[in-house]
Amino acid sequence: MQSETDTQRTRGQELPQPRLGNIQQSLPRAGESTRCRFCQSELQHTFVDLGMSPLCENYLTAEQLNQMEPFFPLHVHVCHRCFLVQLPEYVSPEHIFSEYAYYSSYSDSWLQHARRYVDQMVERFGIDKRSFVIEIASNDGYLLQYLLQRGIPSLGIEPAANIAAVASEKGIPTLVRFFGLDSAQQLAAEGRQATLLLGNNVLSQVPDINDFVAGMRVLLKPQGVITMEFPHLMKLMVENQFDTIYHEHFSYFSFLTAEAIFAAHGLTLFDVDELPTHGGSLRIYARHKEDGTKAISPRVQALRIQEERFGLTCLESYSSFAEQVHETKRRLLKFLIQTKRSGKIIVGYGAPGKGNTLLNYCAIGRDFLDYTVDRSPFKQGKFLPGTHIPIFHPDRIKQTHPDYVLILPWNLKGEIMQQMSYVREWDGKFVVPIPTVKVYS
């Protein structure tokens, strides 16, 4: 945060100011240390440093291409005490999430995932019309719509007003705000505690993890169930998914660390599913520590052992990750350079956040990719942050017949290769960059 003296000095000099908008940085000043957001230990160890990057959802208009663009560090640390892998809060969540361009309903496979989840919860926990389901970061109502169809009362909590408005139009009650202890206490006081409290891909986006988990405990009925899905740190390391690191993701969890955080707030993880979503996620099931009605599944102990064997309780396993990332960059660039030298045309598919981390870290611009395409009309006509690659409607690929299509949302590669199978009509090929560059002809 800028001190008053600094502000005055800058004003006094009347220097042209970079266009930072309302971005607030809440970083320690030089000489101060950054502390673990869970256990408060001083962060002394690097997990990986991806250099400087713009906010990955900050798609640019043509006019903005000629303006200055803010870049922030993507330097990820690991805590030597609780092993929480984390990014300091380089950018405030208010800035990132208040107007967000990610609409969950644009992915068919994600919608199917949400529908299956609802079917499973209804069956396993007897969720019905007498229940009350709350989803934190409910996005555009991609999941709660399936509860609405069954007549089960639900509430969404979503900080991005533009996205919450889409959910409200579908008839899904949605509170526009950030979730934490304050909002939980308010809802609980109104008698609106949850039978089922869920959050998909939100835990990693929370800067104050203790406030958030404490809030979940308050919002949960005595025999209620919490489910949270988040990308599994072990998968990120094994599958080399460094491109899922971006400013929006403040924390990267192993099961062991997640368990420690929930336990610190009186919540017990009683089951866990390993899911294929987002390259490998965990769905954890939590209950109040005092709730004796749900036994702890053997899957909990099995995963603890698996993580320990992989080395997630020793610092050395974390410090070898960075070199693996550097080598991935060299290999991808080698492929792109050789392909361009042979006169081929390469374009991108998708404009996901992870694509922007990859392209910025590897410095891949229009010198390699002519353009990318995306199904979301909110992204079409805009440009990728940092690299300024233009985003078109997917039909552009049919019109221009590129030799290679680089799939940026690699977690959806099966779905995308199926949708785009017509590229084979002109002998086009797909390329997937992660875990290591691979061509599918």
Candidate segments 40-48, 110-118, 195-203, 409-417, binder of Zn ion by CB under 5 A: 40-48
Decide whether 79 or 122 has the Cβ nearer to Zn ion. 79
Residue 39 touches Zn ion, criterion: CB under 5 A: yes
CB 88 to Zn ion: min, Å: 13
Question: Which residues, 76 to 135, sit near Zn ion by CB under 5 A?
Answer: 79, 81-82, 84
Q: Where are the beta strands (DSSP E) in 186-309?
A: 194-200, 220-231, 251-252, 267-275, 281-288
Query: How long is the chain?
Result: 441
CB 41 to Zn ion: min, Å: 5
CB 315 to Zn ion: min, Å: 12
SS (H, E, C) 336-362: HHHHHHCCCCEEEECCCHHHHHHHHHH
CB 38 to Zn ion: min, Å: 5
Question: Which residues, 320 to 349, sit near Zn ion by CB under 5 A?
Answer: none
CB 92 to Zn ion: min, Å: 21
Decide whether 41 or 317 has the Cβ nearer to Zn ion. 41
Decide whether 85 or 373 has the Cβ nearer to Zn ion. 85
Draw the binding track, 57-86, toward Zn ion (x: CB under 5 A; -: no contact).
----------------------x-xx-x--
| CA nearest to 82, candidates 230, 252, 260, 247 | 260
Q: Which two tokens mark 428? A: 């086009």
User: Regarding beta strands 72-78 and 45-53, do their DSSP bridges make them parallel or antiparallel, or are they unpaired?
Assistant: antiparallel
Q: Please say whether the beta carbons of 221 and 187 come within 8 A.
A: no
**Count of positions on this chain that bind Zn ion (CB under 5 A):** 8
**Angle of CA points 217, 223, 225, to nearest 5°:** 65
CA distance 383 to 67: 13
Decide whether 36 or 122 has the Cβ nearer to Zn ion. 36
Decide whether 36 or 346 has the Cβ nearer to Zn ion. 36
Q: Computed from CA positions of residues 274, 275, 278, 279, in that sequence, does the dihedral angle turn out positive or negative?
A: positive
CA distance 347 to 352: 14
Question: Which residues, 274 to 303, sit near Zn ion by CB under 5 A?
Answer: none
Interacting residues with Zn ion (CB under 5 A): 36, 38-39, 41, 79, 81-82, 84
